[in-house]
Structure 1
Amino acid sequence: MAFDGITIANIRSELDHTLSGGHLAKIIQPEPDELILTVKNNSKQYRVLLSAGASLPLAYIASENKQAPMNAPNFCMLLRKHLSGGFLKAVTQPGLERVISFHIEHRNELGDLKEYRLVLELMGKHSNLILVNDENKIIDSIKRISFNVSSVREVLPGRDYFIPQTQDKLDPMSISEKKFGEAVFSRETPLFKALYTSLTGFSPVIAEELCTRAGIDADAAADALSEPERLHLYHTFEHLIEDVRTENFAPNIVYKNGEPFEYASLELTQFPNLEKETYDSVSALIEHYYAEKELRTRIRQRSTDLRKIVNTTLERNGRTLSLQEKQMHDTEKREKYRIYGELLNTYGYSLAPGAKEMETINYYTNEPVTVPLDPLLSAAENAKHYFARYNKLKRTAEALSERILGTKSDIEHLESISASLDIARDEADLQEIRDELADYGYLKHKGPAGRKKKEKARPLHYISSDGFDIYVGKNNYQNEQVTFKIGGSNDMWFHANDLPGSHVLVKSDGREIPDSTYEEAGRLAAFYSKAKTAPKVEIDYTLRKNLHKANGGRPGFVVYHTNYSMMSRPDIHDIREADNT
């Protein structure tokens, strides 16, 4: 997990510097395993979210509050009794353990000053929030754990508090060079695994980062490193830990294909080709990272029904197209029947009654040909029979040609909608896609009573390095808007060649568009296409005035005969997105 001991050290530092010396003004428990503490310090008010959720334990200074339940849970009432109005002395972390302790002074009912610890253990499914008194006894916890649940440690009122030692790991903050070597270089495993399984608070990402900084292959066998490599790795490790000791943190998020990929409180140099965003506050990073993750997860979940409809219809149309193309292949013999009929009309007069075939010369090719005959029919009747078969297959081919074009058009339309689902960022985008599916009969329209006021979805808006506005449609209706409403005749239009994707428009505003803006627009068109994972994508570009909408064409489908082409990388990490509010 990215929420490792080093990230927690960064959080602890931020919480300690921001909150220590303040007073605990309010405590709420919005979720069964979550607290929000309101701390007043230096004339400011801070909300601290503490989550002991099994799937996502967290701690950070939150920018937004949550609604308190009508009736406070028992644990929340207990905390209010012992901690409300208390003085926050310090926020600590033992070594690089995934544990944060809030040291709070508070007067009891007799007026005696007592010190309590609110301990947050961020340990996956074993995460917990525990209130401990000055005698190191557990007062209570947000999750009570008996020996029936865990044989390692009971978390019950009156029990001694201790951090469970479930793994034999060493503290990176105090480890010696000798102990480091004995722990890491004795393992017959990849080096990065030897690091994170030997050192407390190290995640696989940080272990790989240490290897990258040392210039050593993370997958190399730990016990096979040379002596100079071992010494260099330890010195690199010391530099990394010194950054933690001196609180020289650099919170950053790495993005891959436009989505949050990884984060850490130390600079991640192992991803030189990926987009990176740095933060002054680790709380801001965590809030942004998980909010964006949650949004994308929610959008994927909300789009599941639409994806199912699109994929099912695509599969059905694929089978239909395959059958139609097979039937079209069967009609290709129609010309042979026409020629048979013509040859019978020309040479059939010489046939003997009851003949089963006629051998003659095909006067189109001057090659010998054998024409099969029905011996019960005359030459003229056989010719008539062949012309009937020819005409039937000709009518079938004409009908099939039209149907195949329609089926291919449906498939192309559905593939464009599938691409739109991959790009959708919010509910408004999904609603536009839902509307399009309904408009073309793939979904039923909701009745007026079932409709809600729609939030208006907008195309993406980027600013090129030269200051030109670039607009990107996220679905077919937005593509239509970008090209035919936002676009002027002398603006430049970009699209992935022969692939579903976004319309990208550069507003020229009467200026000459420089090459760098062309290159950035091409990269946007490549990234927002079905080929975004390819190393290079062919991009067509042309003036907006060269585009025409076919009569009766689907939304976002255009025709153009004059264009240029370029090869573009689907990489947009350095292109600035404008505020779209």
Structure 2
Amino acid sequence: MSYDGIVTKAVVSELNTLLKDGRIDKIYQPEKDEIIIQIYNNGVNYKLLISASSTYPRLYITNNAYENPVNAPAYCMLLRKNLQGLRISSIEQHLLDRVIIITVSGKDELGYQNYKQIVVEIMGKYSNIILLDKSSNKIIDSIKRVNSDMSRVREVLPGLIYVFPPTNNKLDPREININIFKELINSNNKNMRIDKFLYQNFLGLSPLISKEICTLANIIIDRTLLSLSNSEIITIYSAFEDVIKKVNDNEFTPTANIDNNGKINYFYAFPLRQFDVSNNKYFESMSNLLDFIYYKIDKDDRIKQKSSYIRKIIENRIEKSQHKLSKINEELIESAEREKYKIYADLLQANIHAIPKGASSIELSNFYDPEQNLLEIPLDVTLSPAANAQKYYKKYAKLKAASSILKKQIEETKNEIFYLESVLVSLDLVNDFYELDEIRSELIEHGYIKKPSGKKKMDTRKKTKPLHYLSSDGFDIYVGKNNLQNEYLTTKFAKKDDLWFHAKNIPGSHVILKSKNSEIPESTIYEAAYLAALFSKNNFETKVDVDYTKKVFVKKPKDTKYGFVNYDNFKTVVIDLNTFDSTRLRKID
């Protein structure tokens, strides 16, 4: 990805055209490092997305909907207090750097003109959104506060005078001529690659555009400065100058290069010659391009980050439960040998007077053995013969009582592991934050995650929906993406004659095939079974067994976790995930 200074210039140019003189109506903060400002201008409402994400920092107008928290964070409230109702006076770029200054103005309560600035710094992990008082240039606050422990170069704290990020002695390429260009080449490390020389010496140039300049000059990028002739230096400068002229003249054609597999090779403010031009996709605006590029990858990345701690908790619980199961199985094996201890006790009791006190073991004739073979019995030297006999009787009784308890514990532990693994399957299917909240709520209810402290509320405004497909024969098929959806589909949504599908003996989604009170074709049954296999723990396997039955034969035991059911009168089909033709299945949005 290359949101460099040139892309920033293209965005700023576009925003000035669309947003200058616009009124700030609403401000939201969907993420801890991201805000959305709704701006009304010339009869249109625009949503300006500003992100200080360490992974995908960016600024552009978005057309996508973002989920906002129930309670606005403190920084969002501060922005609302200072900015709502004001108008955008200007949007500027600092040099050719990835720093944007949005100046807003309006009258305060006393009728005086009031100027504020939002400074957006797109700097990787150092990205920030900073609110300034323009007249004093003092920081009111920032979305990320930076103290001296965090940075020895620059503090970003309320009350401090704002200072731009250091440029690391890089020059603005718009102020360069051939003589300065040559001097820089002569003063740099002669073994430096040409493309590296460009992006390390000039503001706003990324490795991507530096390689493009080499491509335009027909110079191999891994050549060193030392290897360049004077004519080649002039050729490189000419290509450099052509790129900068495009920037100065705002000659932007927002472009993404996407191969046949959907891989994004690059996006930029104009087409690049170093890639196959036939894969180019052109956009009407930089904002449309950036919205296309960033929305899904950023959302998926945030979901992955937010679900990682849940996944870790569940994986740890599975590990503990598997260890517990192993231990219980060992105890059950020992319990199965309990008859041995009763024989020990009976033989000791029958020969009580023949056993010398203080013996560590004794061999006695085993009257339970038809051949009356001798049996060696270990003894506790600190106990009398009678006490040793009682010790074995007690051990026998304890193991006998434990057997039924252990079998019950084994079943409960296996069910817990099955449930926890089903949660991992659900996490793999999450594609929005509401679904993640549902899983979190479920785990809080079952005691796997602590309930958030304080007054923070869980977001319950929206119920998520199961996946919906239409079979090749026109039958509706529904797929649960988490245990709450599975519970709803099976216990409330499905009718008694609908068909219920589930991958055999492994965690996975509940799949409901609506019967429409008619005979269901075999092709539709296999399509529903395919979905049950696809949305299961074993979806990486070639073949998956899938059980199906009428919903009337699916029962939910009392006091069991969400999604847990028993079923009978079922049939089993085998689905080959590699060869199954799913092209006639249609997903319904």
CA separation of 1:102 and 1:369: change in aligned 2, threshold 3 A: same
SS at match of 2:59: strand
Residues 537 and 567 in structure 1, CA contact (< 8 A), matched pair in contact too: yes
Choose which of 548, 566, 569 in structure 1 pairs with 2:576. 566
Q: Distance in 2 between matches of 1:333 and 1:428?
A: 49
CA separation of 1:201 and 1:309: change in aligned 2, threshold 3 A: same
Q: Distance in 2 between matches of 1:406 and 1:308?
A: 22
Residues 547 and 571 in structure 2, CA contact (< 8 A), matched pair in contact too: no
Residue number in structure 2 paired with 1:112? none
Q: Where do 5+ consecutive residues of structure 1 fail to align?
A: 105-115, 132-137, 153-158, 271-275
Q: Distance in 1 between matches of 2:405 and 2:254?
A: 69
CA separation of 1:309 and 1:261: change in aligned 2, threshold 3 A: farther
Residues 46 and 61 in structure 2, CA contact (< 8 A), matched pair in contact too: yes
Q: Does 1:327 align with 2:331?
A: yes
CA separation of 1:353 and 1:475: change in aligned 2, threshold 3 A: closer
SS at match of 2:572: coil
CA separation of 1:122 and 1:442: change in aligned 2, threshold 3 A: closer
CA deviation digits over 1:407-457, x for unaligned, max 9? 2222332343354456453347634752575368988999xxx99976433
SS at match of 1:61: strand
Q: Distance in 1 between matches of 2:202 and 2:175?
A: 10
TM-score normalized by the length of structure 2: 0.56
CA separation of 1:27 and 1:408: change in aligned 2, threshold 3 A: closer
Shift of 1:400: 1.1
Residues 254 and 289 in structure 2, CA contact (< 8 A), matched pair in contact too: no
Residue number in structure 2 paired with 1:458? 465
Residue number in structure 2 paired with 1:540? 545
Q: Where do 5+ consecutive residues of structure 2 fail to align?
A: 105-114, 142-147, 155-160, 275-279
Q: Distance in 2 between matches of 1:429 and 1:443?
A: 15
Residue number in structure 2 paired with 1:45? 44
CA separation of 1:487 and 1:10: change in aligned 2, threshold 3 A: farther
Q: Does 1:525 align with 2:527?
A: no
Residues 128 and 143 in structure 1, CA contact (< 8 A), matched pair in contact too: no
In the comparison of the two structures, how many residue pairs are matched? 505
Q: Distance in 1 between matches of 2:487 and 2:35?
A: 45
Residues 470 and 588 in structure 2, CA contact (< 8 A), matched pair in contact too: yes
Residue number in structure 1 paired with 2:415? 409
Residue number in structure 2 paired with 1:201? 204
Residues 253 and 262 in structure 1, CA contact (< 8 A), matched pair in contact too: yes
Shift of 1:470: 4.8
Q: Distance in 1 between matches of 2:243 and 2:532?
A: 40
Residues 361 and 367 in structure 1, CA contact (< 8 A), matched pair in contact too: yes
CA deviation digits over 1:478-528, x for unaligned, max 9? 113334634886757354x655343345668745537996797368415xx
Residues 29 and 36 in structure 1, CA contact (< 8 A), matched pair in contact too: yes
Residues 173 and 202 in structure 2, CA contact (< 8 A), matched pair in contact too: yes
Choose which of 476, 489, 493 in structure 1 pairs with 2:483. 476
Residue number in structure 2 paired with 1:7? 7
Give matches, 1:269-418, under 5 Å: 281-284=285-288, 286=290, 317=321, 320-337=324-341, 356-358=362-364, 370-372=375-377, 389-418=395-424
Residues 337 and 387 in structure 1, CA contact (< 8 A), matched pair in contact too: yes
Residues 355 and 362 in structure 2, CA contact (< 8 A), matched pair in contact too: no
Q: Distance in 2 between matches of 1:93 and 1:494?
A: 56
SS at match of 2:337: helix
Shift of 1:168: 3.3
CA deviation digits over 1:465-488, x for unaligned, max 9? 998755331221311333463488
Residues 415 and 500 in structure 1, CA contact (< 8 A), matched pair in contact too: yes
Shift of 1:357: 0.5
Residues 39 and 48 in structure 2, CA contact (< 8 A), matched pair in contact too: no
Q: Distance in 2 between matches of 1:538 and 1:209?
A: 47
Shift of 1:2: 5.2
Shift of 1:337: 4.0
Residues 171 and 199 in structure 1, CA contact (< 8 A), matched pair in contact too: yes
Root mean square deviation, CA, Å? 7.2
CA separation of 1:208 and 1:437: change in aligned 2, threshold 3 A: farther
Residues 489 and 543 in structure 1, CA contact (< 8 A), matched pair in contact too: no
TM-score normalized by the length of structure 1: 0.57
Q: Distance in 2 between matches of 1:139 and 1:444?
A: 45
Q: Distance in 2 between matches of 1:520 and 1:242?
A: 56
CA separation of 1:268 and 1:397: change in aligned 2, threshold 3 A: farther
Q: Does 1:24 align with 2:31?
A: no
CA deviation digits over 1:514-556, x for unaligned, max 9? 7996797368415xx4x78xx6575333444397446445432
Residues 28 and 37 in structure 1, CA contact (< 8 A), matched pair in contact too: yes
Q: Distance in 1 between matches of 2:389 and 2:100?
A: 94
CA deviation digits over 1:212-234, x for unaligned, max 9? x99xxx9x97769x99xx99xx9
Residues 307 and 436 in structure 2, CA contact (< 8 A), matched pair in contact too: no
Q: Does 1:249 align with 2:246?
A: no
Identity %: 25
Residues 98 and 123 in structure 1, CA contact (< 8 A), matched pair in contact too: yes
Q: Which amino acid aligns with 1:414?
A: L
Q: Distance in 2 between matches of 1:175 and 1:330?
A: 87
Residues 27 and 84 in structure 2, CA contact (< 8 A), matched pair in contact too: no
Q: Which amino acid aligns with 2:334?
A: D
Give matches, 1:72-151, under 5 Å: 97-99=97-99, 122-124=121-123, 125=126, 141=137, 143=139
Q: Distance in 1 between matches of 2:452 and 2:167?
A: 59
